[in-house]
Chain A
Amino acid sequence: GQNIDQPTEMTATEGAIVQINCTYQTSGFNGLFWYQQHAGEAPTFLSYNVLDGLEEKGRFSSFLSRSKGYSYLLLKELQMKDSASYLCAVRDNPGTASKLTFGTGTRLQVTL
């Protein structure tokens, strides 16, 4: 079966750095995605990793290790508006256009 694990909740201080981990066990692997979701809103695409290593995009970076079944999302210079849920998702089918399997999300609270 498919299993994606991430912490349920995290708290961090404005201006700090936070790392949100995600581990996965899936029957196949064809990419890992991170989305941000504010309460009551649509998930917004943040990053995509298909090869091992670090992808950097402004204040957000995402890392992938396929051999370990592990990814993390790194948020730097935290702002209050970063308080949201962060969803880790895996595309496990060989085709590039196929479903995503999501973790339950990590709710991040940024405090002053």
Chain B
Amino acid sequence: NAGVMQNPRHLVRRRGQEARLRCSPMKGHSHVYWYRQLPEEGLKFMVYLQKENIIDESGMPKERFSAEFPKEGPSILRIQQVVRGDSAAYFCASSPSVPANIQYFGAGTRLSVL
């Protein structure tokens, strides 16, 4: 049973380009969460999705960031017109629909904006 799969592991973009980060949840998990981790800081919640629905996007910046979890395929976190401040590690987690709902994390995508 594969864990949460994220790709790419490392992504380099120039200022103004777009970044697409992908996340495939664990088998049987229907809840996906995205978190951002800046150097020397804690994980910050960004968005929580179920299939075809955004449940909570209270941590998403209002501009340039969007997320989706289509009926088929992985969840995508999209950052348009990246800036240097977007450089961070982006982690995806997934959880099942059972009590406790433990969130299991992927290895993350490290985005570097030049």
Chain A contact residues, CB within 8 Å of chain B: 31, 33, 35, 41-45, 48, 50, 87, 89, 91, 96-105
Contacts and interface: CB of A to CB of B under 8 A. Distances in A.
Contact of A87 (B43, B97, B99): B43
A45 B96 CA distance: 14
Interface residues of B, number: 28
B106 A42 contact: yes
Contact of B105 (A43, A50, A96, A103): A43
A42 B107 contact: yes
A64 to B, nearest CB: 14
B99 A96 contact: yes
Nearest to A107: B40
Given A97-B95, A98-B48, A43 B43 contact: yes
B49 to A, nearest CB: 11
A99 B48 contact: yes
Nearest to B56: A99
A103 to B, nearest CB: 6
A99 B45 contact: yes
Interface string B69-91: 00000000000000000000001
Interface string B92-110: 0001010111111111100
Contact of B33 (A35, A45, A99): A99
B108 A42 contact: yes
A96 B100 contact: yes
10 contacts: A31-B100, A33-B103, A41-B108, A97-B48, A97-B95, A98-B56, A99-B33, A99-B48, A102-B42, A103-B42
Contacts of A45: 102-105
